[in-house]
Amino acid sequence: MSRTLSLLASLALLTQQARAQYTPPDPSGFEGIQVERYYVSDVNDAADEDGSSDLAAGEVTYRVFVDLKEGYKLITVGGFVNHNITFNTTTSFFYNDDRGESWGSDINDIHLEKNTVAIDSWLSAGASTDAYWGIPKDEDTDGSVVGGSNNDGGSNSVPGGLLVNDDPMTGIRLDTADGLLAGTPPGILSVGVAPTIFNEYGGAAYTSDNFAWSSGIGNVEGPTPSNKIPDRPVHHRWRVHLLPQRVGAHPGQFGMRRCELPRDHGVLCYPGSGRHLGRRLQHPEQVHASHPLLQFRATADRLPRRAGWTCLAWNTLRR
């Protein structure tokens, strides 16, 4: 897991002990971005009015994980001058107006049984609720507290509950494995103007060069050996661009190389001709995820725009 130096002053005040542990960055610490197709809504989900009047059948919930090597921690995700962080979709992000929140850690786990709360859109630094980490469904071995008999059936009191669609494109059913791991995940520390698009009807676009978030403890690693950290679920219709640029390659075509950037310890570049970022992307489809920032130094020069490449800069602290 990469432990990165934040561009935020509040996060840059590391202890002397942490500074003493500084080592040069290891580009292999960031292993990729994993995009999981989590759930596809059905007609019963869409008919519910307790959670939202803005859900249609066939809408897809994706979860995006930062995949880091064992021993590395994620500290900060954000945007800064000349390298905005952007979320946008050609339609709008799904908003559960019953118990949904902008941050996963703000959702009280007792509300997961209600209507469509479990597929709300939010940002995170590991938490899916206040009492559950988010993990990929295929790593979830403790059953499910979501959907089916766990669900109240929504406004129509649907027998058997909501969130039971068995769409083959999502793999494991939600009422079999929910991608939640009980625990005490950290809350959120954010600086700047946070997006509201995940907590309002019609939210479709956000961009900022002055916003970042991290876990409330300043660093976070995944709760399982694979060290995958959810930083956002995205529920959308049609096409969504998660962040500034479409970068990466299809599975089997992934490539990366080192770039030189003055006053930065490490820059990793990804080819921009493909649609997807990450060697472990599960589903080749219309989701574009450029990695936000594992970290950028406040003193770094503007990132170079190289033909066909997007560069990411960071510093790392080993645990």
Average pLDDT over residues 13-39: 59
Tens of pLDDT, residues 68-111: 777 777 777 777 777 778 887 777 888 999 999 999 999 999 99
- How many whole angstroms separate alpha carbon 299 and alpha carbon 294? 15
Spell out where 60-112 has E strands. Answer: 60-68, 77-79, 85-89
State what percent of residues in the chain have pLDDT above 70. 58
Average pLDDT over residues 268-286: 32
Is residue 147 scored above 90 in pLDDT?
A: yes
Minimum mean pLDDT range among 13-17, 20-24, 213-217, 241-245:
241-245
Spell out where 122-224 has E strands. Answer: 132-134, 180-182, 188-192, 205-208, 211-215
Neighbours of 261 (CB within 10 A): 18
**pLDDT, position 167:** 94
Q: Where are the alpha helices (DSSP H) in the chain?
A: 9-12, 16-20, 43-47
Residue 225 burial by CB count (10 A; 0-12/13-18/19+): exposed, middle or buried?
exposed
Q: What is the pTM of this model?
A: 0.67
**pLDDT, position 294:** 32
Q: In a 3-state reduction of DSSP, which class is residue 164?
A: coil
Between 48 and 30, the higher pLDDT residue: 48
Tens of pLDDT, residues 235-271: 443 333 333 222 222 222 223 333 333 333 333 333 3
Q: Are 248 and 277 in contact (CB under 8 A)?
A: yes
Report CA 129 to chain centroid distance, whole Å.
14
Can you state the percent helix, strand and coil of the chain, rounding each to 5? Answer: 15, 25, 60
Neighbours of 153 (CB within 10 A): 17
